[in-house]
A and B are shown apart, each in its own frame.
Chain A
Amino acid sequence: MRPFEYGSALDASDACSKGTDRSSFIAGGTTLIDLMKLEVMNPSRLVDLNSLPMRGITIDDKELSIGALEKMSAVAANPIVATNYPMISEALLQSASPQIRNMASIGGNLLQRTRCGYFRDTSTPCNKREPGTGCSAINGENRMHAIFGTSESCVATHPSDLAVALVALDASIRLQSAQGYRLLKLEDFYLLPGQTPEKENQLQPGEIITEITVPRLPLARKSTYVKVRDRASYEFALTSAAVGLELDSATIRDARVAVGGVGTKPWNLPQIRQALIGKQLSEEVFRSAAKQAVEGARPLRDNGFKIHLVQLTIIRALMNLGGLA
């Protein structure tokens, strides 16, 4: 780990004023300390956000609000979240380990870096880590990599489960900077790698996520998160599906589907929504909808199986929700 200065932010404006392109904010630190030990991230200054008041989980007629410093474990166990947005609880409980969930903030969860092995290995070229050096994964070991949203520069997946659920639910984040604050749809916050994979989102230096808001949606109460992994627990997704259904007896009134483990950002699938709305619940309907999900997928040498697996993941989630499993 390279040397750095450490300081605690007194309030949000103090934090924003201390943020530069050479500093990092730290909350739980579970991604940052790991990557600093690997010298993948080398901030010269850490600004500790933990004394800021960005906490609390509240709900009203319009939306659910979660302070960005809330821990993953606290959000997962919160009865408001578990009742109204089971998909969020399930996504969190299938993320990381209990210890990490006790440490990691949900604001930080949305900013975690990819698990691409080449990104984490400073001895190999990586455009995300060192722009212009090339992508080692595109012709290398790429079993875990993306089939959606890839470019010639980068094929790394976004690792967050929570972000997949939030994108499915049309969540927004509130960003604060010295200039004030802005609201952004989480889906728009994330950027495709294109020619600049080092730029993963729209966060500016000195800007912090203060809050996550999720609209009240009837289908959110009937939602689930299915995650397929190489081992049963404590592992990143091969594929995952965040699915919500609003039913009128056996007719689908509304649906949301987003998938994880397959995209360079949390991958929303609005086209599936259209394939499901108005249809009767049946495995056949689910299969045909899932087939649409993989249109445009671009497999690499080792990850072609994800095209099949992600369809099965979506189908399983829909079957579970529809009571057909």
Chain B
Amino acid sequence: MGRHRGCPSPKTIQEIQLRLSRNILFQHFFVTHRAVSRLFKRAVLPQGRGAKLLLLLLMEHKADSSTEPSSNSFPDSDAVSSRRDFIGRLAAISAGLTVAVPFVGSPAADAIRRDRVDPADKPDRSDSLDCALDVNGKKVKLSIDTRTTLLDALRDRLGLMGTKKGCDHGACGACTVHVNGARVLSCLTLAVMAQNKKITTIEGLAVNDELHPVQASFIACDGFQCGYCTPGQIMSAVGCIEEGHTGSDTEIREFMSGNLCRCGAYPNIVDAIKVAAAKMKRGVS
């Protein structure tokens, strides 16, 4: 049974979550108590995986619908959860609370967010362009600068932090999403050009409470270490399988070459894809 390096096995979910909350990696992801409990109950996760469990988070919608301000809309730019808010939310979750924590940023957090994430922080920036996106089945309208990439719109405007910014130049694949069913790089896609198309991110892959087979197989096969590339790997793997390029390990590696993993989890990623491909072929989720 795999275990995160240097981490003794945690005994309880609360212990795991408390540990995770101190882990810098955790800042990349959103978790819900319910999601972790469910996976344990279904024995999807063996006990003792330690801090790697945090990577459940990226397999999971960033929050249960109960924690969203509205089930049919995204938090927009004025109400997106900042990392600071998230840590607060996490503490509440870790403490076993299941209360809804709304995506409302404090003025200070908003200022930090603007300083940090503004995709085009030039004096002449204007958010004057109307942009209608269809993300994970939800339609949302934004006013954006023409320069906003789909990646920045997803992360900074819609609060969908599962899609990761790696190189921001199309070299690493961390930002992979599906547009009209095809895997593409959101960092090289202008948001305005993604209008009238169906966008699916890692948060939209699971159907209700059911993980996508590729998400489940990445957990089962330990297809990651730090997890930063994992959402992109999973989105790309779904494309790889659906395109029919899982005939051999070599073919999988070739058709996954657009996704870099600095931890070098490639052997387990290949295993995860083989397992998921077999399941999907059999129609098992």
A interface residue numbers (CB < 8 A to B) = 1-6, 26, 29-30, 33-34, 37-38, 46, 48, 50, 73, 96-100, 102-103, 232-234
Select the residue from A38, A50, A99, A232 with max chain B CB neighbours within 10 A. Answer: A99
Q: Which of these, B184, B190, B245, contacts A99 with CB under 8 Å? A: B184
Contact between chains at B258 and A33 (CB < 8 Å) = no
Q: A3-B122, A4-B146, A30-B170 are contacts. A102–B184 as well, Cβ < 8 Å?
A: yes
Question: With a CB–CB cut-off of 8 A, which chain A residues contact B243?
Answer: 98
Q: A3-B147, A99-B173 are contacts. A29–B189 as well, Cβ < 8 Å?
A: yes
Question: With a CB–CB cut-off of 8 A, which chain A residues contact B254?
Answer: 232-233
Task: Report the separation of the CA atoms of residues A177 and B243 in the bound assembly, to the nearest whole angstrom.
Answer: 37
Give the Cβ gap from B142 to chain A, nearest Cβ, in Å: 14
Task: Report the separation of the CA atoms of residues A96 and B129 in the bound assembly, to the nearest whole angstrom.
Answer: 31
Question: With a CB–CB cut-off of 8 A, which chain B residues contact A103?
Answer: 184-185, 188-189
Within 8 Å of chain A (Cβ to Cβ): is B239?
Answer: yes
Select the residue from A1, A34, A98 with max chain B CB neighbours within 10 A. Answer: A98
**What mask results when residues 107 to 134 of chain B are scored 1 for a CB within 8 Å of chain A, else 0?**
0000000000000101011100100000
Task: Report the separation of the CA atoms of residues A30 and B188 in the bound assembly, to the nearest whole angstrom.
Answer: 6
Contact between chains at B190 and A98 (CB < 8 Å) = no
Task: Report the separation of the CA atoms of residues A244 and B145 in the bound assembly, to the nearest whole angstrom.
Answer: 48
- Known pairs A98-B183, A102-B239 / 12 extra A-B pairs, C-beta < 8 Å: A1-B120, A1-B147, A3-B124, A6-B129, A29-B188, A33-B188, A97-B258, A98-B255, A98-B256, A99-B173, A100-B188, A234-B257
Question: With a CB–CB cut-off of 8 A, which chain B residues contact A5?
Answer: 146
Question: With a CB–CB cut-off of 8 A, which chain A residues contact B145?
Answer: 3
**What mask results when residues 157 to 181 of chain B are scored 1 for a CB within 8 Å of chain A, else 0?**
0000000000011100100100000
Within 8 Å of chain A (Cβ to Cβ): is B236?
Answer: yes
Task: Report the separation of the CA atoms of residues A25 and B213 in the bound assembly, to the nearest whole angstrom.
Answer: 40
Question: With a CB–CB cut-off of 8 A, which chain B residues contact A37?
Answer: 168-169
